[in-house]
A = this chain, B = another copy of it.
Amino acid sequence: MASSPRVRMSPESRREQLLELGVSLLATRSLDEISIEMLAEEAGISRGLLYHYFGNKQDFHVAVVRRAADDLIAMTAPPAEGDSLTRLLVSMESYLDYVVANYEGYLSLVRGAAGGNAQLREIYEEARSALTERLFIEDDDMLLPDTAGTRLIVHAWSAYAEDLALGWAREPAGVTREEVVRAMSSSLPALVAAVG
């Protein structure tokens, strides 16, 4: 077979490549700014082929956001070692780094979910509960008791952490990364204590 400048990829690899490309575009662009045309050009394939892999633009967007959410969940996995507060701190560091590195896309996910797009909302809720469910995992050094009241507080705390991460990513305002991470992680036990 003669060599070709265009690499021939399996459908799975090609779809994977397109998803990764979409995720990387999403880092610095809102979902609305990512068009089929942009994608096709970046990937060096026809628009028709893109439709072949993803159906339509909306389905492509959903697949990209789902992949981005999976990345977020994987990246923020707490380390196996350390006490629960240390593990939370490391996890929040990764979360903050993710939001900074993927500001535009993450913001558009948050807004899309809040604005009532049902598919985005589902992915957003999935990612958010994956992040917070970790706090309730039973182990020898459990951070939080799993009660309805605690869950109410943890949900509100995650809104706080999200707003803080997005606000700091937009404008650090002289606050250091360490201070932000501490303001996220150290606040949780105090908040939970307030409801007894």
Contacts and interface: CB of A to CB of B under 8 A. Distances in A.
Interface of A: 110-112, 114-116, 147-149, 151-153, 155-164, 167-168, 171, 173-175, 179-180, 182-183, 186-187, 190-191, 194-196
Copies of this protein in the assembly total: 2
- Quick one: which of A151, A153, A173, A186 has the most chain B CB within 10 A? A153
- Quick one: which of A151, A152, A195 has the most chain B CB within 10 A? A152
Given A156-B160, A179-B194, 9 more contacts: A111-B114, A114-B115, A149-B179, A152-B171, A155-B164, A156-B167, A159-B163, A160-B163, A179-B195
9 contacts: A149-B174, A152-B171, A156-B160, A156-B161, A156-B163, A160-B163, A180-B195, A183-B194, A186-B194
Looking at chain A's contact residues, is the secondary structure mostly helix, strand, loop, or mixed? helix
7 A-B pairs closest in CB distance: A115-B115, A114-B114, A148-B173, A160-B160, A159-B163, A156-B164, A183-B194
A164 B152 contact: yes
Contacts of A171: 148, 152
Nearest to A148: B173
Nearest to A185: B194
A183 B156 CA distance: 10
A167 B152 contact: yes
Contacts of A175: 148-149, 152, 195
Nearest to A191: B187
Contact of A115 (B111, B148, B156): B111
A162 B159 CA distance: 9
A2 to B, nearest CB: 51
A143 to B, nearest CB: 17
A95 B175 CA distance: 29
